[in-house]
Amino acid sequence: MEEFLTAQFWFAVGQIIMIDILLGGDNAVVIALACRKLPDHQRTKGILWGTAGAIVLRVILIAFALTLLAIPFLKLVGAILLLWIGVKLLMPEDDSHSNIQGSDKLWAAVKTVIIADLVMSVDNVIAIAGVATSAGSQHQMPLVIFGLLVSIPIIIWGSQLVLKLMDRFPIIITFGAALLGFLAGEMMLTDPAVATYVGAVSEQTVKIGGVIGALLVVALGKLLSRSRKEEKDAAA
C-alpha cells in the first residue's frame, strides 16, 4: 500500500493523465460521432458501455505491451515510434473522423466506439507502457489502471474544455510532445539490448537521454510544422 503514496507513483499518474488528454482527445469525438444517431435515452448507455469496453481493451493491450517491452530491441522500436508521435503532435492535423459511422442501434454504436478506440490507441498504449516501465515493476498495472480511470472521464466530459485550453495555451501541447520525447529517450537507454551490448546505464544518464529526446522532438516538430506551413502558403 505504501507504494501508492510515493511521489514516483503520483508523478507517473500525472504523466499518464497528460498523455491520455493530449493523445486521447479524438476519442471523445469518436464517441460522439458513433452515438449521434442513438435515441436520446440510449446515448448515455452507448457512451458508458463504449467507454468501459475501450478501457478494458486498452488495459489488456498495455499489459501485452509491458511484456513485449522486456524483449531486447523492442523498447528501441517503441522509443522511435514515441519520437514520431511527439513530432506529429506539434504538426497541423487533418480531419480523420469523416469515416466514423453513427448507428441507431445501441450495441452497434458500442462496437464502433471500441473498434475505433482500438485503431486509434496505439500511440496511447506505447506511451503509457513507457511511463509504467519507468515507474518501477512493483505497481505497473495498478498505475496503468488508475491513470486510465482518472483520465478517461476527463476526456469524455472535459474534452471541450481541454481543447479550448490547448488552443489558448499552445505551450500545453509543446509540453506534452516534450514529455513523449523524454519517455522515448529513457526507453532507448533502458532497453535490455543496451545493457547487453553497452553495459549498465546509470540513472543520471537515462535522465539525460530523456532530456535529449524531449529537445529533439520539440525541435523536429517545430521545424517540420514551419516547413509544412510554408508549403501551404506557397501553394495558396
| pLDDT tens-digit readout, 5-19 | 677 777 777 887 777
Full residue range of the structural domain in which residue 20 is found: 2-227
33 in any annotated domain: yes
90 in any annotated domain: yes
- Which pLDDT does position 211 carry in this prediction? 94
Gap between the Cα atoms of 155 and 95, Å rounded: 18
Handedness of CA 172, 10, 157, 91 (dihedral sign): positive
Residue 137 vs residues 19, 37, 67, 152, 183: alpha-carbon distances, Å: 20, 44, 11, 24, 16
User: Tens digits of per-residue pLDDT, 216-226?
Assistant: 999 999 898 88
Tell me how many domains the chain contains.
1
Instruction: Supply the mean pLDDT for the chain.
Output: 76
User: Tens digits of per-residue pLDDT, 122-159?
Assistant: 667 778 887 777 766 556 777 777 777 777 776 666 55
Side chain identity, residue 76? L
- Which pLDDT does position 131 carry in this prediction? 79
65 in any annotated domain: yes
